[in-house]
Structure 1
């Protein structure tokens, strides 16, 4: 079975039936199995449906593809015991069509007149390749693939309630982002690279454009997400965030324990979950791109920094001309040199800079899906390009 060629779903289904569906895993057992494949940690090293090593070594992308498909199938057959393969395939396609109408990543899926299985294969291929531009490759596994389980949770919600999953996904993404930001804040040593990871996470959110406000922990409503799969996933994302520097300090552990309590897990269950994560990450540390550098975030930031600087310098004259033609943007950029901008002002800067980038072909990178994560770096370089009188005059006013 070749997961990168047409027809792999039909070829794969007997193994899925035998190893996953016929075993009728409980939700708790299923999630544990999925954890052990690495899918939850954004680095699949094996699959649910093939427990033994195969002669053909599958790529990380192919393993991720199989695990996503298996997880979707598991939740479907958990809800409809007597369903057949054709019904499952059609429901998956209908679900993703609904998401395509609402996602900010428009144009990613194409629904050609082809066999249902082939259509679903194309959809799954797109879902695991969202971060396919050259400046995001280093972090596609860490960020976007870490959120793939959201598809599974949303599919389960869609099957249970038979309604559009947009509100569900919007609320869950908002909660997850808030928890990750709070987890970062518990770190003793903070740096600019962790802020970039938060921006990367926000950039990977597919179903709403508004960045979630950072709520105090006590005000977050976890009760809307009370299934075992939802609660375990939230806990795992927070745990991965805490472990990003390969350490878990007392303050960080206390946060995870508090989060686990809010999610109705005992201290023992939280400890077991962290132990499971540590075992996997340590066992596969050398394979995971995140740990291939002393600080993967720093590596990404520095490489991106250099690339964006080159682009800006090459387009300096045109860029400055476009900026000065926008009086409001000039005022906001000037204000940002000596005072923090409000959220509304930051949004205006972002929108106007993206409009400018549309007129300069070489800066098209900023308007690609996910390109907005580079805006802080772009803004950082702009004051260096402006004449000295720019800041001085604006500050006086």
Structure 2
């Protein structure tokens, strides 16, 4: 299943049914599992439907697509237990069509005329992207929409109350931005992260713009957000906000505790929630974009390295077949494993690899203008695919 190719929803759905929908999770269980994927924290590191898959098989963007689709399906089938896949897809497209009419960020609606599955795939692709180029200029690798779970909350509201979720979304986004700004105000030292995270937040908003003067905590209205998904999500966003500088001060913790109590959580529950967040961030901090943006060259290389590896592994069989049909390339690659190639030989390897890339559609990126920059990364991974006989110097691990 390739989430970047057309038709992935139909291929994915049976797996979703088996691994998630048939498990009959309640809301608390599902949210906890979704939290562990990183989707709640705006950085998906895995999915619930493909937990045993190698990390290289999906990109961040693809993991985010799967998690958004799965979360929408979970709330839908929790509400409509006897519904079919066809009804789910059609109702989800209708829901997004309603939202798009009210969004402050307009897109072309031509894809709403396609088949429901194709339409939903395009909608999800659009939804996971941020709205402005500002973030892309500040990060050299992919940033996905930081507030995607808001879609899930609005979908749940729409299904439960059967009315347009516009007012709900405006109120929810307003509350979220207020809470995040108030969390930042608890910091003793204001730093680069505040502006950065606020820009990321602002770029993810769809129905509300950040107001210059936030309300005081006592003025915030939480009474319309009482279900577990809503309260946990608001608490999680505030928690990750105060940790953006990688430490939690006394007054910041006091704010989170106060917020948690206001949302109906005990102090013990708040502590456990912070612990889960810290466990996730400590395990994945080096991958998360809003903690890593100072060294743009390093992150460009890391992201490109990952992208090339994904492309190679997905096209492994076809790539190896093409390589072995080129006798001269096989000889040069074999030689390169135990001896340095001359400049002319290196040039031949690059030329012949580019010719091979022309025959594998998914590798067309290498023959585009500037694609030659990726060739060293492609060449780096080729030896890992070849039989061990190619490398006389390889040390076998016990």
- TM-score if structure 1 supplies the norm length? 0.70
- Kindly provide the CA deviation profile for residues 332-377 of structure 1, in whole angstroms up to 9, marking residues without a partner as x: xxxxxxxxxxxxxxxxxxxxxxxxxxxxxxxxxxxxxxxxxxxxxx
Q: How is 1:377-388 mapped onto 2 (pairs within 5 angstroms)?
A: none
Report the Cα distance in structure 2 between the residues aligned to 1:28 and 1:51, rounded to whole angstroms: 19
Q: Structure 1 pair 259/225, CA: closer, same or farther in 2 (3 Å)?
A: same
- Kindly provide the CA deviation profile for residues 234-284 of structure 1, in whole angstroms up to 9, marking residues without a partner as x: 000000100000001111111000000000001111011101110001101
Match in the other structure for 2:241: 241
Aligned CA RMSD, in angstroms, stands at 2.4
Match in the other structure for 1:155: 155
Q: Is the 8 A contact 1:138 1:289 kept in 2?
A: no
Match in the other structure for 2:74: 74
Q: How is 1:254-269 mapped onto 2 (pairs within 5 angstroms)?
A: 254-269=254-269
Match in the other structure for 1:231: 231
Q: Is the 8 A contact 2:193 2:245 kept in 1?
A: no
Which SS does the other structure have where 2:111 is aligned?
coil
| Range with bigger deviation, 158-167 or 198-207 | 198-207
1:217 paired with 2:217, answer yes
Per-residue deviation at 1:287?
A: 1.4
Q: Is the 8 A contact 1:285 1:291 kept in 2?
A: yes
Match in the other structure for 2:116: 116
Per-residue deviation at 1:110?
A: 3.4
Q: Structure 1 pair 41/109, CA: closer, same or farther in 2 (3 Å)?
A: farther
Report the Cα distance in structure 1 between the residues aligned to 2:134 and 2:211, rounded to whole angstroms: 24
Q: Is the 8 A contact 2:89 2:117 kept in 1?
A: yes
Question: How many aligned positions are there?
Answer: 297
Per-residue deviation at 1:208?
A: 3.0
Q: How is 1:330-345 mapped onto 2 (pairs within 5 angstroms)?
A: none
Which SS does the other structure have where 1:130 is aligned?
coil
Which SS does the other structure have where 2:247 is aligned?
coil
Per-residue deviation at 1:141?
A: 9.0
Report the Cα distance in structure 2 between the residues aligned to 1:210 and 1:63, rounded to whole angstroms: 28
| Range with bigger deviation, 1-10 or 217-226 | 217-226
Per-residue deviation at 1:51?
A: 1.6
Match in the other structure for 2:105: 105
Report the Cα distance in structure 2 between the residues aligned to 1:138 and 1:35, rounded to whole angstroms: 26
1:42 paired with 2:42, answer yes
Structure 1 portions without partners, runs of 5+: 300-397
Match in the other structure for 1:61: 61
